[in-house]
Structure 1
Amino acid sequence: MTRDLRSTQDFYTEVLGWKFRQGSLGDEFCVALDDGRPVAGIAQLTQRLRGTTAWTPYFAVDSADDVAARIRERGATVAVGPLEFGTGRAALASDRDGAVFGLWEGQTLRWAVGRANAPACLELRTRDAFAAAIFYAEIFDWATQRPGGCDVTYEDEQVIVRQDRRIVAALRGGGVEEAPDPHLRPRWHVHFQVRDLPSVISAAVAAGGTVMSPAPQTGRPGGRSMICDPYGALFTVTDAPEND
C-alpha cells in the first residue's frame, strides 16, 4: 500500500528492476513483474483503501469469513472486511501483538513464496514467537495433514514454517530462556532475493530510500539488508536463497 502509486513503481523499477502491469482490481492496483513473472502487488491508498504505507503479506484462504471469525475468537483484530475485490474477497487483520497481515479468498496469480522470482521468505518479528506460531497455526490450519498444510518446526531459536519442504515463513522473538521483548514492535517483513546486493543497496539510496541495517561486506555471500523506501515501507533484500 502506498500514497503515490506512480512514484512507488519508479522506485522499485530502479532498485529491483521490476516492470508493472495493471491488476484486475482496477486502476488503483498494479502487479509487479520480474522477468515476466508476478512477484508482488502495489495499491494506491484511497478513501476506500485506508491504511499505512507498508508491505503486507496476504495469505490465501478457502473462506475469508471463517478465518476472520477464528481471528476474532482468539482476541485479535479484523480491521477491514472481508470485502469483495474483483473476483475475490479480502480482509486486513492484525494478530494479538499488532502485526498486520491480509487474507485473500479467490483466484490467485501463479506466484508462491520461496519459488522462482517471488518473495524469498516472510519473516514475523514479534515478542513471543511460540505464542505467534500457535495463533497462526490455529487460524490458517498450519501443522495439519490437510491439503495446503505446512510443517512447523523450531530451529535456531526461531519457528520455521515450510510448505512442500520450502521455507515460506520464519517467526522470530526472544531466545528460549528469555522473556518476550516488550520494546519490539511486531511486524511482518518481506524478503526479496536479489542477484547483486551491493548494487541494489546503492540504487535504493540513489532513488531516495534509506538503508535501515548495515550493508554487508562486498564479496561475502549470504548477506541481507533492510531498506525503507521513500514512502515508509520496509522490506529486506538478500543475496542468498532463503531455502536450503
Structure 2
Amino acid sequence: MAAEPEGTPIWLDASFPDLEAAKTFYGEVLGWTFGESAEEYGNYTQAFSDGKAVAGLAPRMPGQEDWPTGWFLFFASSDIQAGTAKIRELGGRTVMDPMAVGDFGHMTIAADPGGVTFGLWQPGTHQGFEKQGEPGSYCWAEITTREPEKADQFFPALFSYDVKRMEDDAIDFKVYDLGGETVIGRMKMTEDFPPELPSHINPYFAVENCDDAVAKVVKLGGQKHFGPHDTPFGRFAAVSDQQGAGFSVIDLSTTSGDLPKIS
C-alpha cells in the first residue's frame, strides 16, 4: 500500500470508562464487530466493518480518569519525531510524546494553540483505515474551534494544506486541501455550542439511514444534539454516545440543495 500523504486523516480511536458498553453501542449503531483485545497494549481493541479495520477502542488507562471521553483523529506522518518538533515550533503542545506501538507504528498526541487535540501516526504494519467513505466507517471530520484564526495558521503550516473558504454568511467554515483533494473542514464554534464544550475534531461516520442511526443512539442512552438535517453533502446529525463521546452520522446518499461555492 502506498504511503498516505502527510496530513491525511489516517486513523481514529477513543478510550472509554466502560469499553464493553462502548462496543455494544457502536456495534448496534454502526454495525461494528470487534477483534481480540490486546492486553500488551492496554486492551486496545480494533473495530471492523465488513471485516475491514475502521477504528480503535480502548479502556481508560491509569492516570487518564479525568480525560474527557472523545474520538481522536490521527493524521499521517512520515517522521513522527520531526512532526512533533514542528508542532512545538508552531506553538502547539504535546499531550503524549512520540512512542512506538510495537511494530504497528509510531504515534504522538498533541493540541493546536487553540486546544484542538489530534494525533500523528507514522505507519508500520498498521496502515490505518482499511475502509472509509462507506456505511460503517469514517468519512469526514471537522476541526471545530473557538479560535479559528489559530487553526487556520497552525494546521496549514504543519501539513502544507491549501485553505479555501465556503461562501456562506451564516457560518465561518473553511476546507483544507491536500494535493488538490479536500481532506478536512474547519468550523468556527458559535454561541450555539455549549460553553463547556472545548474545541475539538468532530468525526463523521457514514450510515445507511441517518434517522435510524439517531434512533439507535437515543435508544442506547446517547444524545442527539443537532439534526437530522438535509444538506448537499448528505443527511446528517450530531450526536454523542452514552459515555459522552461526540460524533456525527451521515447518509451520504440522501442529498438536498446545491453545493456551496468554495473559494
For Structure 1 versus Structure 2, the TM-score category normalised by the shorter chain is 0.7 to 0.9
Q: Relative to 1, partners in 2 of residues 1:59 and 1:200: Cα closer, same or farther, differing over 3 Å?
A: same
Q: CA deviation at 1:207?
A: 0.9
Matched, 1:61 2:77: yes
Q: Out of 101-110 and 184-193, give the one that drifted further.
A: 101-110
Spell out structure 1 runs of 4+ moving beyond 4 A: 163-166, 241-244
Matched, 1:126 2:145: yes
Indicate the RMSD between aligned Cα atoms, in angstroms. Answer: 3.0
Q: Give 3-state SS (helix, strand or coil) of 2:212's partner.
A: helix
Matched, 1:205 2:221: no
Q: Relative to 1, partners in 2 of residues 1:60 and 1:221: Cα closer, same or farther, differing over 3 Å?
A: closer
Distance between the aligned counterparts of 1:193 and 1:210, measured in 2? Answer: 18
Q: Relative to 1, partners in 2 of residues 1:190 and 1:113: Cα closer, same or farther, differing over 3 Å?
A: farther
Relative to the length of structure 1, the TM-score reads 0.81
Matched, 1:187 2:212: no
Per-residue CA deviation, residues 184-242 of structure 1 (Å, 9 max, x unaligned), is 7311000011111111111111111111113348xx99321111111110010011269
CA contact (8 A) 1:16 1:200 kept: yes
Distance between the aligned counterparts of 1:237 and 1:83, measured in 2? Answer: 32
Relative to the length of structure 2, the TM-score reads 0.75
Q: Relative to 1, partners in 2 of residues 1:14 and 1:136: Cα closer, same or farther, differing over 3 Å?
A: same
Equivalent in the alignment of 1:19: 33
Unmatched 5+ residue regions in structure 2? 1-14
Per-residue CA deviation, residues 142-171 of structure 1 (Å, 9 max, x unaligned), is 23xxxxxxx442233422124465432101
Q: How many residue pairs were aligned? A: 228
Unmatched 5+ residue regions in structure 1? 144-150, 176-180
Matched, 1:236 2:253: no
Match of 1:109 among 102, 116, 127: 127
CA contact (8 A) 1:113 1:120 kept: no
Matched, 1:154 2:165: yes
Q: Which has the higher strand share?
A: 2
- Identity score, percent: 25
CA contact (8 A) 2:133 2:206 kept: no
Q: Give 3-state SS (helix, strand or coil) of 2:24's partner.
A: helix
